[in-house]
Amino acid sequence: MAKLLTILCLGDIIGEGGRSAIAAKLTALKAAYTVDFTIANGENAAGGFGITRDVANELFTVGIDAITSGNHIWKSKDVFAMIAEEKRLLRPFNYPEGAPGNGFTVFTVGEYKIGVLNLLGRTFMDPVDCPFRRGAHAVRLIQRETNIIIVDFHAEATAEKQALGYHLDGTVSAVVGTHTHVQTADEHILPKGTAYMSDLGMCGGEFSIIGMKKDPALKRFLTYLPHKFEVEREQPMINGCVIRIDADTGRAAGIERVLVRHGQ
Ligand SMILES: [Fe+2]
Ligand SMILES: [Fe+2]
């Protein structure tokens, strides 16, 4: 029987609360699912916006193998100094030509190779290069090395995410979404064998407005005056999914939602 590879994918890590939940629980979570490789979106890991060298290293140390990102990737100056040489930290592949860093990396895990590709949506977001065409191009490049490919599509609109899922169906092992910070319940395997989930959710305070303290965020909507966002550190949950992949074919054998609440 073919080896099944188990990949854990975690939604956007929101500041210190999300990081503390991961530091406390990741080892047990990986053991419970016999995880071979862990990917997390780190675009909000430093103070709620962006990521720094120290925070990235902290996440690698606690057991994350690959960090994907999104529209907040350029927030910290630190990133520009590290992203070219730190291949475990990805920025979306479809930023215009000339952006520093890597949009995909092929990782060696034992005798297997796992490609991780990061793409950014355009609907209700900045008009970066086409994620469909650039995404398919990146997949062809990765396929020279492996057919085990995980795509983190960091996008706002569910329709755009579903469309990319079908666009890449049968060419990658999984398309999972990030960015909305709200977990969707639509994990399934597409007709040609690609695992799909519109949004992994977030690793951050459960009783928040997409990871930020609810009072300032609510005041913004009530007053339309500037109120500073603050990360909600209390009661952080872990959101993501576990994907099982046939290592011979790269096809998904299963996808399961992961939600670990504070106190669980
Ligand atoms: Fe985010
Ligand atoms: Fe985002």
DSSP characters for 45-68? TTTTS---HHHHHHHHHTT--EEE
- Look at residue 163 and tell me whether its pLDDT is greater than 90: yes
Cα(48) to centroid(ligand 2), Å = 10
DSSP H or E stretch at residue 21: helix 15-32
pLDDT band at 111 (very low <50, low <70, confident <90, very high): very high
Q: What is the share, in percent, of the chain residues with pLDDT greater than 70?
A: 100
Nearest bound ligand to CA 41?
1
Cα(85) to centroid(ligand 2), Å = 23
Q: What is the pLDDT of residue 1?
A: 64
Average pLDDT over residues 136-148: 98
- Look at residue 45 and tell me whether its pLDDT is greater than 80: yes
Cα(178) to centroid(ligand 1), Å = 7
DSSP state, residue 81: H
pLDDT band at 2 (very low <50, low <70, confident <90, very high): confident
Nearest bound ligand to CA 46?
1
Q: What is the pLDDT of residue 122?
A: 98
Nearest bound ligand to CA 153?
2
Summarised one tens digit per residue, pLDDT across range 61-105 is 999 999 999 999 999 998 998 999 999 999 999 999 999 999 999
- pTM of the full predicted structure? 0.98
Q: What is the pLDDT of residue 18?
A: 98
Active-site positions read 72
Q: For residue 158, what are its two tokens?
A: 């569910």
Average pLDDT over residues 205-217: 97
Cα(183) to centroid(ligand 1), Å = 12
Task: Calculate the average pLDDT of the chain.
Answer: 97
Question: Helices 53-61 and 15-32 meet at what angle, rounded to 10?
Answer: 20
Q: Is 108 exposed, middle or buried (0-12, 13-18, 19+ CB in 10 A)?
A: exposed
DSSP characters for 154-220? E-S-HHHHHHHHHHHBTTBSEEEEESS-S--S--EE-TTS-EEES---EEEESSSBTTB-HHHHHHH
Cα(70) to centroid(ligand 2), Å = 5
Q: What is the pLDDT of residue 68?
A: 98
What residues are neighbours of ligand 1 (ion), with CB under 5 Å?
Answer: 12, 43-44
In angstroms, rounded to a whole number, what is the distance separating the alpha carbons of residues 81 and 245? Answer: 34
* Total residues belonging to the chain: 264
Nearest bound ligand to CA 40?
1
Which CATH number describes the domain made up of 4-260?
3.60.21.10
Cα(75) to centroid(ligand 2), Å = 11
Instruction: From 110, 102, 176, select the one nearest 146 (Cα to Cα).
Output: 110
Summarised one tens digit per residue, pLDDT across range 240-256 is 999 999 999 999 999 99
